[in-house]
Every structure is written in structure tokens, then in C-alpha cells.
Structure 1
Amino acid sequence: MQADQLFKPLPSRTPYAPAEERYKPSDVLAKLRQWLNNVGLSRTAVKLTTSHRESVTIRTNKWTGEAESFEVSQMWLLRANRDKVDRALEAAVDRAKPRTTDPRTGAPLSEAEQRETKYGTIAANYLRNAGLSEWRVQVQDTVNGKDGTLGAADYGAKTILLQRNHLRTADRDAIISTIQHEAAHAKAGQGNGHNHIWKHEAVLLGLSNPTANSFGQENDRQLRAGTAKVKDVAGGGVARGPHRGQFVDRAKPREVRQEEARERKAARALDPEMIEALKLKYLKKFKQPFDESGLSIPELLQMAARRELD
């Protein structure tokens, strides 16, 4: 009797539903995929897991807060009946779907207004995850009174300003680049403009091409890692150049590539920090401030190239 008491089967924590009342895993995935497509989450992944968790787990992007995947526990599907599964799937999709009505009035939002709301939320989540929780996001018709400005950082009010039309019409990558660009300004601090401090913060925040006009518009230079990477814009293929990490577009004529190389070299030579360093070398060697010498910046660069300042 004691042995029977000790070794009797333990009751299951969650009773199994009858087989005829349960979904097949493939049916659940198809249903969840269809529901996600219906609410505009077609890019969200759906997969089964071996987790013992109940219901559905939503994995979100660290920076944007967007739902990246819905993970359904196989162990849960073995136990739950169809009604329970349907309720859990509906609740999960409802938590992640984009807002379609105005929370204040309940009025339906247009497609453009939904995009504006979506990317405004993404910008707020991005700032919070970037360590800028004290900053807020404000959408304006014109930023700083200029129609062509897509975003700006208001340091006094600690606010990222985003252009309304940009959020409503631009593609996702362009909008994310604008948000990253302005977040880098907030991290770098006032007075740094687009200098090396801003570029450093931009790279850390995920901006692949930190340049002064990088509002989602990729230039021909990859400034991160200090190498040149030219896009294959004419379909001629990309070949590796003489330096590691450097790429050359075969479709461009040699003269064009050489001119672009000279422009890149001139841009690097006119770096304000480098100019200040050369002025300091001039002062140490000639005991006279460069600004009082009557020489021009190109002449200073020529002296440096001839190693007259070493």
C-alpha cells in the first residue's frame, strides 16, 4: 500500500485535450501566417519551438520594438484545444498589429496616418533603447521651417523632429536611417555637427553610412572602417581593389574612378582636426602662428606633403 502511494503516477499539470479537439501544428502555423498578413505583418516570421511555455511568444526587435517572430510552443499545442489556441493567437496578433484607429477619438486612421503613427512609435522605442529615454519624438509638417529637411535634433527641448511627409511616403530603410542620423546628433551633443564624434555615435547606433546628407540616401563611400566601397550602379560587377576592404566598380571609366579617388583624398585632407594638427606643427617649427603667416591652407598641405613640417 505504501509502495502504491509512493510510485503512483503524478497528475499532469495541464490535462491533454482530446485529439479531435486539438490543432495540427501545420494548421496553426498557416492560420497564424494568414492573420499576420491580414494586419500588415507579412514580414514577421512564424515558427514552432520546443519550449514548455504556454501560448505564443513574440520576439521583438531590440531597437524598433517591431514584432520579428511569433514562436508557438509544440508542447502547448499537444495539450490545448482549438478554442484556447484561437484565443491565444488572436490576443498575440492584437498586441503586435499596427494601430488602425486614433486612440483619442476612435476614428479610423488613413494608410498615411498609420505609417506616421508606426514610425513615430519606432522612433520613440529606438531612442529609449539607445539610452535616450529623456528625449521625445515630434512630427512636424516642416522641420525648422525648411521643406527639404527630413529631421533635426532640438537640444534645448530634447526632442527629435521628423518631417511628416517623410514618415508617410518614404520607404522603411530611409526612415530608419533618418531616425538613426538624428539619434546620433542627440548622443554626440550640441556643437559637434557632423564631425568625428557624431560619426562615431552614428556607427554605434547602426547607421551604415554616416555622412552629412545620409537621410536614408546611400552615397558611394563607405566611411566606416576608412575604406572606399563603390556601388555597382551600372551592372558592371564589383572587383576587389589593391587594398583590403576596397572595392572598385568596373562599370565606371578609369578617369571617373581616379577623379572620385582625388575627391575622397581631398575631403580627408581637409579634415578640421588634421588642419589644426598641421597648424600646431607649423607653430612649433617656425615659432609663428600659421594664421599670421599669410599662407593659405593648400600651401600648408603642400608643405606637409613635402615633409617640411616634420
Structure 2
Amino acid sequence: MGPRNKTGILEFLLMEVTEDPELQPLHFILFLFIYLVTILGNLLIILAVISDSHLHTPMYFFLYNLSFTDISTTTIPKMLVNIQIQSQSITYTGCLTQLCFILIFVGLENSLLAVMAYDRYVAIRHPLRYMTIMNFSLCGRLILFCLFISIVDALIHSLMVLQLTFCTDLEIPLFFCEVVQVIKLACSDTLINNILIYLATGLFGGIPVCGIIFSYIQIVSSVLRMPSASGKYKAFSTCGSHLSVVSLFYGTGFGVYISSALTNSSRNTAMLSMMYTVVPQIMNPFIYSLRNKDMKGALKKLVVRTACLL
């Protein structure tokens, strides 16, 4: 059969989580648990930052926005629905919507991590002028800028996918709609789409990474010049949580890229890709709550206050 018109009603087929029907309830419970922990963990971070006045600082303002980004996962809910109804289909509109939101939130997290690195750079290089430089007006503009470029990037890719024509073979070898895999299913010319992906990756991905690397080079050089060991430890400790989150986010992404290049198993690649969209979001709240005294104190107050109300 020839290609279908791009304006027609299309359905894509996502990869099955498991080929064994008996394991489907177990996978449903597992992913539901992961989803609930992700929502609860990030929601606690958000509530702790809102409720504790001591956390009304630029660092925790960015953490608040990072948690809000992590709570907005779009991959697991569709997986849970598909497991429950025993169907792997996703509508053309649903696939494009999921693709767009994934690009927005991955891009936003990438940008936020760069902004948080800049915040730590200012805090260590210019501690006396920190609150003057990182005023809430600047912080708000930085968040809006991150959101703007993430939405622009996602809309460009989504609108370009809308221009494509698809054939009858619409099986996506992942558990969710990912822009590269969707483009591979197109029958029409995808040269411009592929060029845009490389440009967007270099621009919207490369610049934040370079910003993070530059910030930490400056941070390390400043810390090494500090005379006291306690000062060095205190400076590094303020960056520990952010460094852990950055390592987790980019480490899992790099691991997916390397593994997909080395393995021929589409199921292994799909599982690794799923972990990239799940692991950082579920681990970020634990990293910040376990490594940060102020956050642990705020969470304890929040739990006690909630228990008293109940």
C-alpha cells in the first residue's frame, strides 16, 4: 500500500512492555509505583519550598521549578493505560502531543540544570553580592527564558513532523513516542527534520552543557584558592546535590546513546530509553532531600505539620 495522507486518522503502535501476559500485572504495579513515588517525591519538594520561608532563595526557587518539571512526566501514564487495556496503540494526535511534551520537559530540565550551575557559580565566586546579582527578577526571567526556548524547540520539531506523510508500517520500537523514531517511520523526505534535530541538539543541548562545564571550572578554581579546608568543604557541599543531579541526567542519556549504538536488541534500547525518562525524575527528590540539611529540615516540618492537621 502507498503512503497515507498526513491528514488522515493514523495510529502508531508502541512496543509492548512485556511479551508475557502473566507478567503484565506485575509491570503495571511496578510502573504505577514508580509514577506515584515520582509524583509524591517531587510534590514534597515543591510543598517544602513553598511552606518554609528559609527556602525562599534563588537556589530553592530553581529546585522548585525542577521538581515541577519532573512531576510533569508524560510517558508512564500512557504505558499504564496500554497495559491495563492490553493495547499498544496511540493515536496520531496523542503521539504528536506526547512527543511535544517530552521535548518541552527534557529541554526545560536541560536548561534548568545550566541555570542552577550558574546560580552555584555566583554563590561561590561572588558570595557577598549573591542576592544582589541573583535577584528574583533575574531568576524569574531565567525561568521564563528556559521555558520559552524549550517550547520553541518542541514546537519546531512537532510542526515539522506534521508535514510528514506516513506509510502503513507505524510500529515505534520504544514504549513512547520519540521524535527520531517517529521521523524514521515517514515515507516522505525527512532531510530537513534530521538537520533540525542535529541543529537543535547542538544549540539547545550543547550550550547548556558548555555552560555547566564552564561554571564548574570557575567554581573549582575558586574553591582551590580558598585557604581553609572547612571553607572548601562548605563550598563543595553546596554543589554536591546539583552535581549528582547533573551526573544522573547526562549520565543516563549518554548511557542510552552508547548502549543503543552497541546493542542490536530493540527491546534493550527501549528499556534504556525508558529509564532515561524515569530515573532522573524519581531520583532528584531523594538526592536533594538526603544531601541537603535545609531541605531535610523543611521536609520534617512539613510532615509534622501535616500529621498535626490529620
Q: Does the pair score TM above 0.5? A: no
Larger helix proportion, structure 1 or 2?
A: 2
With a CA cutoff of 8 Å and minimum separation of 6, indicate the structure with the bigger relative contact order. 2
Q: TM-score with structure 2 length normalisation? A: 0.21
Please, what TM-score do these two structures have when normalized by structure 1?
0.21
Q: Tell which structure's C-alpha radius of gyration is larger.
A: 1
- More strand by percentage: 1
